[in-house]
């Protein structure tokens, strides 16, 4: 397969279904070699089989984005298989029903529900960014990272305070201009984007 991502290597989290699966397939169609990650490797395998059957190259990786060791291993396995990472799509996430009853207002939320939401939807993105950026800087060639947020990262929702807080945090992480030893420049300003559900940062080595 050849296209705009020919010769590139991409890591996609939450790649077993939905946006993650569709993005992984689209990236493969454009020539990228893919590491498709999900909480269970067998779930990611279905996406990988689809890509490989169409003539692409992909591997499945299992891991929990709330565990730093798992995230580091995702990056390491991608590099072991393909030699580098040029693109990353941090898409793994959960909805409100994954951590408690739907429709709860702020004063009804348990601490467990709030912490569980932030662990996946915010801390998980941070951990992925941390290890992806380190690898891209070590390569010396930079790369591109996209983080999935939501319209909930731009507005408030009365029955989803924990989800809103996490997604606002993702937008803030994406918009942050500086990390240690690298410059992260917004590629698509959210208010100008046709789809304000994601942000994209270009990672460059600082002089």
> What's the CATH code, domain 9-205?
3.40.50.720
Provide the pLDDT confidence category of residue 45 given band limits of 50, 70 and 90.
Answer: very high
Of 82, 89, 114, 163, the active-site residue reads: 163
Write down the pLDDT at residue 176: 83
User: Are β-strands 143-148 and 198-205 bridged in parallel, bridged antiparallel, or unpaired?
Assistant: antiparallel
Overall average pLDDT of the 2-28 stretch = 96
Write down the pLDDT at residue 206: 44
* pLDDT tens, position by position, 93-115: 999 999 999 999 999 999 999 99
- The domain spans of the chain are 9-205
As to burial, measured by CB atoms within 10 angstroms (0-12 exposed, 13-18 middle, 19+ buried), residue 170 is: buried
* pLDDT tens, position by position, 135-193: 999 999 889 999 999 999 999 999 999 999 999 999 999 988 544 444 433 333 333 33
Do residues 56 and 47 make contact, with C-beta atoms less than 8 angstroms apart?
no
pTM (2 d.p.): 0.86
Q: Is 178 part of the annotated catalytic residue set?
A: no
């Amino acid at each position: 397969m050849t296209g705009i991502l020919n010769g590139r290597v991409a890591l996609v989290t939450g790649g077993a279904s939905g946006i993650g699966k569709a993005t992984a397939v689209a990236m493969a169609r454009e020539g990228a070699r893919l590491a498709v990650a999900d909480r269970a490797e067998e779930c990611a395998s279905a996406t990988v089989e689809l890509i490989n059957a169409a003539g692409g190259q992909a591997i499945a990786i299992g891991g929990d984005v709330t565990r730093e060791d798992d995230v580091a291993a995702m990056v390491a396995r991608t590099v072991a298989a393909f030699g580098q990472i040029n693109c990353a799509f941090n898409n793994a996430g959960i909805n409100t029903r994954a951590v408690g009853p739907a429709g709860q207002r702020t004063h009804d939320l348990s601490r467990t529900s709030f912490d569980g939401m932030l662990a996946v939807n915010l801390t998980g993105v941070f951990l992925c960014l941390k290890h992806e950026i380190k690898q891209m800087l070590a390569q010396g060639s930079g790369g591109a990272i996209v983080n999935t947020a939501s319209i909930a990262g731009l507005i408030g929702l009365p029955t989803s305070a924990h989800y809103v807080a996490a997604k606002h945090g993702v937008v803030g992480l994406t918009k942050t201009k500086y990390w240690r030893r690298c410059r992260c420049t917004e590629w698509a300003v959210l208010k100008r984007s046709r789809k304000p559900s994601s942000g994209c940062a270009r990672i460059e080595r600082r002089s």
